[in-house]
Structure 1
Amino acid sequence: MLTVARRGKKRINLEPDALAAVAALINILAQETFARAAQSAANTGDRKVTRDHLRKIIAQIMLDFAV
């Protein structure tokens, strides 16, 4: 959505409600990504989330959040 608006490198002007919606979507995406990565770590018996855990779940996150 923002990529399309940035064509030509013009400044993006978002209404406050639209900005709030984008911020909420990014927040939900981040929370879900970290939760799935933590679950992936727990499934493998690890106590820390690593890049490998993120790599395992990133494709599914992208599919789930595809618009």
Structure 2
Amino acid sequence: MTMHIKQSTVRSILTVARRGKKRLNLDSDALAVLTALINLLAQETIARTCQTAANTGDRHVTRDHLKRIIAQIMLDFAV
């Protein structure tokens, strides 16, 4: 089962992040690209975290596995 973050969720996150400041006008194409990027980031993070758990012989993914890969993910997706 594949889960995807919806465009409406991304728009809501951006609204909350703005904390009531001037409304952010986001073109529908830009919203689509941003949503796709967020979905790729989430999928890659999950895949790397699972791989880290497997490499260490663990059957359950923990916060420690995520901590091991988060810096590299941030660097890989840095703009």
- Normalised by the size of structure 2, how large is the TM-score? 0.73
Q: Which residue of 1 aligns with 2:35?
A: 23
Structure 1 moving runs of 4+ over 2 Å: none
- Percent sequence identity is 77
Give distance in 2, aligned partners of 1:46 and 1:14: 42
Greater helix percent: which structure?
Answer: 1
Length, aligned pairs only? 62
Query: Aligned Cα RMSD in Å?
Result: 1.5
| Structure 2: gaps (5+ residues) | 1-13
1:38 to 44, 50, 67: 50
TM-score, normalization: structure 1? 0.86
Residues 6-34 of structure 1 deviation map (CA, whole Å, 9 limit, x = unaligned): 5x921111111000000000000000000
